[in-house]
Amino acid sequence: MSLQSGVGRAASSERFSLAEAVGGPRGAAEAVLPGLVFVIVITATRSLVWAGGLALGVAALAALARLVARQPLQQALAGAVGVGVCALTAWRTGDAVDFYWWGLLLNAVYAVVLAVSTLPLPKAGPLPGGPLPVTGLLVAAARGGGPGSGAWRRDRAQLRLHRRLTWMWVGLFVLRLAVQTPLYLAGAVTALGVARLAMGLPLFAAAAWVTWLALRRAGAPGSTASDAAPAADGGVSGPADRPAGPTPGAPAGP
């Protein structure tokens, strides 16, 4: 699962759905099964060829199944390409632990990009200057706006919220690195595989839920904190929690 899909669903859903947050049962299976197959086979056989080949085969079958069913291929195809790159890296080095090298690199890149997005940035192309926390950009995109649709950036409460949410996601990626990097350096391929599975979808779903909850408390999906009507269940902040100045409403969600 990607950060974009998790934050996008959080921005556009009235109620949090764990199934939707992880892409449904099929999406969850596509995300988990290749890694699960790899760690089981490499532990049982110590054969890098079999472990990488079977993991890649599972990912390819998932993409083929979606193609036959005429369903969107993006997630399954991206997963198959990712597993293929990981398997090729491990085959090239001859070390099974290198199957996880790209995942560690990707977590590091995500952490750096998200952290930098919360800093005052110079104007560049379509991006306005100032802090551009990634969760705010993704929520704006999910609601039909571009990177320059900055009503939320002019609202101090919303900007502060998205900086905090972005740092929460930074924490998720840093936590993965803190646990998994020592295992990678130690060559503990089975332990690293288990850690990747345990810190994959479960942590992602938890972060997506916190994002959804924070957005709901700030304002109902499709509106900003200043123009959202209080929900019957108290899920939206009351008038005392809202910014004093008027803020234009964000475009309705998809």
Give ∠ CA 73-26-106 in degrees, rounded to 5.
Answer: 65
pTM for this structure?
A: 0.79
Give the Cα separation of 112 and 120 in Å (integer). Answer: 15
| Res 239: pLDDT | 38
| Res 165: pLDDT | 94
Q: What is the pLDDT of residues 148-182, one digit of tens each?
A: 556 778 888 889 999 999 999 999 999 999 999 99
Element (H, E) at 211: helix 201-218
Q: What is the pLDDT of residues 44-103, one digit of tens each?
A: 999 999 999 999 999 999 989 888 888 877 777 888 899 999 999 999 999 999 999 999
CA torsion through residues 207, 3, 133, 135, sign = negative
Q: What is the pLDDT of residues 196-237, one digit of tens each?
A: 999 998 999 899 889 988 988 877 444 443 333 333 333 333
Average pLDDT over residues 34-53: 95
Average pLDDT over residues 105-133: 87
Q: How far is CA 166 from CA 3, 16, 40, in A?
A: 10, 19, 34
CA-nearest of 241, 244, 248 to 227 is: 248
Instruction: Kindly write down the DSSP assignment for every residue of 63-99, as one continuous string.
Output: HHHHHHTT---HHHHHHHHHHHHHHHHHHHHT-GGGG
| Res 2: pLDDT | 65
Give the Cα separation of 120 and 231 in Å (integer). Answer: 34
